[in-house]
């Protein structure tokens, strides 16, 4: 979706995703947060405030913004910032999804791209809002070159329909 296609009130929902043990363990190792409230059933049930393992806030935030990969795949020039607030715990086994609405947009000085701010609300399988926030993106007015038709000089391969470019495969010897 290009900058110009983002109309006031534009709204979409990201695909639901079930938080797994692998998500929590991998993120914990990646960011160095191995607190037992995230990784230990025994600790969580005995001492933890929620009496079960809770997902990292950073994981919830990362999952909040995954829907942008589908909608802005061919036009995003980067996430510039944003914020989020956690409202309720997310547990291993919860299924969450994020509803996203365009709040504001404005063109940059170059006139080739614009800033877009989106409001996000993330909900669990029971409809409880577990987090909310904003995300700011730089969005191109035209699909980025890698998503344009192939150029005669053997340039980018891909399509303008927003689908990911398919790399050519070669045999490995």
Cα radius of gyration (the chain): 19
Residues 6 or more apart whose Cβ sits within 8 Å of residue 104:
116, 117
**169 pLDDT more than 90:** no
Give the pLDDT confidence score for residue 9 in this predicted structure: 84
**54 pLDDT more than 50:** yes
Q: Please compute the mean of the pLDDT values over residues 21-34 and round it to a whole number.
A: 94
What pTM was computed for the model? Answer: 0.79
Tokens linked to 117? 């701010």
Burial status of residue 79 (CB atoms within 10 A of its CB: 0-12, 13-18, 19 or more): middle
**27 pLDDT more than 90:** yes
pLDDT tens per residue, range 102-138 = 999 999 998 899 999 999 999 999 999 999 999 999 9
Measured CA to CA in angstroms, residue 70 lies from 1, 11, 106, 122 at distances of 9, 13, 22, 17
Map residue 70 onto helix, strand or coil.
helix
């Amino acid at each position: 979706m290009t900058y110009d296609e983002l109309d006031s009130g534009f709204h979409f929902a990201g695909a639901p995703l079930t938080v797994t043990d692998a998500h929590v363990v991998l993120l914990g190792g990646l960011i160095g947060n191995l607190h037992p409230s995230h990784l230990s059933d025994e600790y969580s049930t005995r001492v933890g405030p929620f009496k079960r393992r809770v997902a990292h806030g950073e994981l919830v935030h990362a999952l909040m913004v995954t829907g942008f990969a589908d909608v802005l795949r061919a036009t995003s020039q980067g996430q510039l910032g944003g914020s989020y607030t956690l409202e309720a715990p997310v547990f291993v086994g919860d299924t969450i999804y994020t509803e996203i609405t365009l709040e504001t947009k404005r063109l940059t000085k170059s006139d080739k791209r614009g800033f877009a701010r989106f409001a996000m609300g993330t909900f669990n399988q029971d409809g409880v809002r577990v987090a909310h926030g904003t995300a700011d993106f730089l969005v191109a007015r035209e699909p980025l070159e890698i998503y344009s038709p192939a150029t005669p000089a053997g340039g980018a391969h891909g399509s303008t329909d927003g689908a990911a470019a398919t790399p050519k495969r070669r045999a490995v010897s």
